[in-house]
Chain A
Amino acid sequence: MKTYSEVFSGLRSQKRAAMIPFFVIGDPDFDVSLAVVETAIDAGADVLELGIPFSDPIADGPTIQRADIRAMNAGMNVGRALEFIRKVKAYRDIPIGLLMYYNLVSRYGASRFFSDFHQAGVNSVLVADLSIDDADEIVAPAASAGLDTVFMVTPNTAADRIGLIASRTTGFIYTVSVLGVTGSRESLSDAVEGLVGRLKQLTDVPVCVGFGISKPEHAAAVAEAGADGVIIGSKIVSLIENNLNDEEKMLADISTFLTEVKAAIGNAAHPRG
């Protein structure tokens, strides 16, 4: 199974940041969602960030909330998400970061949850509503199942907490570029560059940036700020939503957009270059 370190160290030697698209598993349904993810892989995704839909996603804006509802209405649940991951891994051995809310883990049983998803091919977990303060509840069971644990750093995270988060995070650090929930934004936050720089001084763990990245030039700017990866969520999810009645166009739009993003990242002047 391909690891984060293989992917990120390979990209570092090429002086390039990873393109990490995010999808809600099962949006709008199992089969189309799988086709979407395969399209993203073909368009050059280096890592996948996949979310299990939840009834009360408090960290997500309206676009991903609606994706969650579509996926749940089409029958997605934790058990079927396992099946989905297996199918993705059968298509391509690509690292997968899993994103979910804590109640889904808690209900399934944390140890069983982590070991089942590791076996299905997941590399890391990020629990959206579990902060570093409660890391003990998941780090050990995730590690013993073979999973990395990803935590978030936000523009308002205090310096001493950044140190703590950097020291306890494995896989990669998920850096949130704006104050707020997920969702496309017109311009990129000025905070990104400083935040990435500070993290880079503190840790060798790859630093990936997400929230609000909706244009190829945003992705390029994040790469130029020194990030190891660029996570793009709501924008791609909106390409699904805008083409619910035309699967062919949906896949084409996603492919076109990610190809542009990939090129923009590739052309970005990476600071280590």
Chain B
Amino acid sequence: MKYKGRFGDYGGFYVPEVLIPALEELEEAFYRFHEDEGFVAELAQLFRDYAGRPSPLYHAKRFSEHVGFKVYLKREDLLHGGAHKVNNTLGQGLLARHMGKTRLIAETGAGQHGLATAMIGALFGMQTKIFMGVTDVERQSVNVHKMRLCGAEVIGVEGGTGTLKDAINDALRYWTAHVGDTFYLFGTAGGPHPYPVIVKHFQSCIGTEARRQCLDQIGRLPDMVVACVGGGSNAIGIFSGFMDDRDVRLVGVEAGGEGLSTGRHAATLVAGQVGILHGAKVYLLQDEHGQVCDTESISAGLDYPGVGPEHCWLKDTGRAEYAAADDEDVLDAFELLTRTEGILPALESSHALAYICSLKGKLGPEQVVVVNLSGRGDKDVSIVESHRPVQQ
């Protein structure tokens, strides 16, 4: 490998030897193409015409009235596929095509990354396999159906708790045996180097746009930028635009599940300890023997015991802060945005909104908070209904 892929001591590429050549090939291709004029132009056109970029920055006035400060939503939920995931799948998909790969594989939790990969598989005419835990297949059946409609094969993974972690395990195993013609389209800003760098690169459009939109629409930078964190791709994407603006607070919100004290959560940065999982040294939810813990969250997309290495480093350096939101507060925030703005947020993004709600009374009326509304909540309607039946 050309680079170490470290953020402080975090990251790296802790993988079996058999995967090293594939990661080397990927790293070499990424650095060859990511600033190549033709590649950049093609991706920019796809971002605009296929995905629907730039996404709007929307002043959610009625929601703002409720919390007592100005809340702006970065509307990644309006992108094709319904989430920010398409930024990364277009970027990596294009990279795969430039590398001459004919097959795509991906892991998925909520199904958003799986769907965004299946879309790109269809777009580029590549054979696509999506690895998805059986628990997630069940609770995100709409996305599973959409993936299959796009022509992807969805492989239900039985191991562990049948969630994102297990899907990554099996995708890595499959890749090990098919490294020649297969591109592993990794969905989050985690995993072995070079994925954290690649995913951040393709998601950085969120932050670049959001910063420019703040200056254009508000005339100043926000006081705070908030995003949910599972692996952390949407968060690193929006944070990247404000990293050098030291007065802008960056806050990542993890899944507090049934509450941190219950142990049934996925708040890796808040409650984890440093370890090695899926190729990277990161904060990790693990037991005293080093076995990785099962996680719990209402949102499949955040149900993961690890996190991207750059977030670990941002936490340690203090440049970003991390908090957790419990399932109940997340549902409250989901309902509040839906009732006040007519926007159904994904349960993942609702974690960021729940944190915003917790700031009620703590920020002044002129203060500005930008929330990355990373996805839309259509996929979550039945989950919300099962927890909070609508009273007519």
Judge: A and B partners, yes or no: yes
In angstroms, Cα B12 to Cα A219, docked, is 36
Inside 8 A of B13's CB, which chain A residues have their CB?
131, 133
A152 near B17 (CB under 8 angstroms)? Answer: yes
User: Among the listed A56, A106, A157, which residue makes an inter-chain contact with B169, where contact means beta carbons less than 8 Å apart?
Assistant: A56
Q: Which A residues, 73 to 101, have Cβ-Cβ distances below 8 Å to chain B?
A: 77-79, 101
> When chains A and B are docked, how far (Å) is the Cα of A157 from the Cα of B22?
10
Q: Does A153 contact B (CB under 8 A)?
A: yes
On whether the beta carbons of B15 and A129 are closer than 8 Å, the reply is yes
Question: A202 at interface (Cβ–Cβ under 8 A)?
Answer: no
Query: Does B21 interact with chain A (Cβ within 8 Å)?
Result: yes
User: A156's contact among B14, B18, B159, by CB below 8 Å, is which?
Assistant: B18
Give every chain A residue within 8 A of B279 (Cβ-Cβ). Answer: 129
Total count of chain A residues near the partner, CB < 8 A: 42
Q: In the complex the two chains form, is A181's CB within 8 Å of B14's CB?
A: no
A154 to chain B, nearest CB (A): 4
B292 at the interface (CB under 8 A from A): yes
Flag if A103 contacts B284 (CB, 8 Å).
yes
Query: Whole-angstrom distance between the alpha carbons of A56 and B284 in the complex?
Result: 13
Chain A CB count within 10 A is highest, among B15, B16, B180, for B16
List chain A residues, Cβ under 8 A from B286: 103, 107
Tell me if B277 is interfacial: C-beta within 8 Å of chain A: yes
One of B144-152, B171-179, B327-335 contacting the partner: B171-179
Contacts of B276 in A (CB 8 A): 101-103, 106, 129
Could you tell me which B residues sit within 8 Å of A by CB distance? Answer: 1, 12-18, 20-21, 159-160, 165, 169, 172-173, 176-180, 274-279, 281, 284, 286, 288-292
Chain A positions 148 through 160: 1 when the CB is less than 8 Å from some CB of chain B, otherwise 0: 0001111011100
Contact (Cβ within 8 A) A131 B289: no
The number of residue pairs between A and B whose CB atoms lie closer than 8 Å in the complex comes to 110
Among the stretches A25-33, A57-65, A117-125, A246-254, the one at the interface with B is A57-65
A172 at the interface (CB under 8 A from B): no
Which residue in chain B gives the minimum CB-CB distance to A182?
Answer: B173
Whether B275 contacts A106 by the Cβ 8 Å rule is yes
**Residue A205 is within 8 A (CB to CB) of chain B in the complex:** no
Let me know if A209 is at the binding interface, CB within 8 A: no
In whole Å, how far is B20's beta carbon from the nearest beta carbon of chain A? 5
Interface residues of A in 130-155 (CB under 8 A from B): 130-134, 151-154
B292 with A61: CB separation less than 8 A: no
Tell me whether A13 is interfacial, beta carbon within 8 Å: no
Q: In the complex the two chains form, is A130's CB within 8 Å of B14's CB?
A: yes
Q: In the complex the two chains form, is A107's CB within 8 Å of B15's CB?
A: no
A56 to B286, CA, bound (A): 11
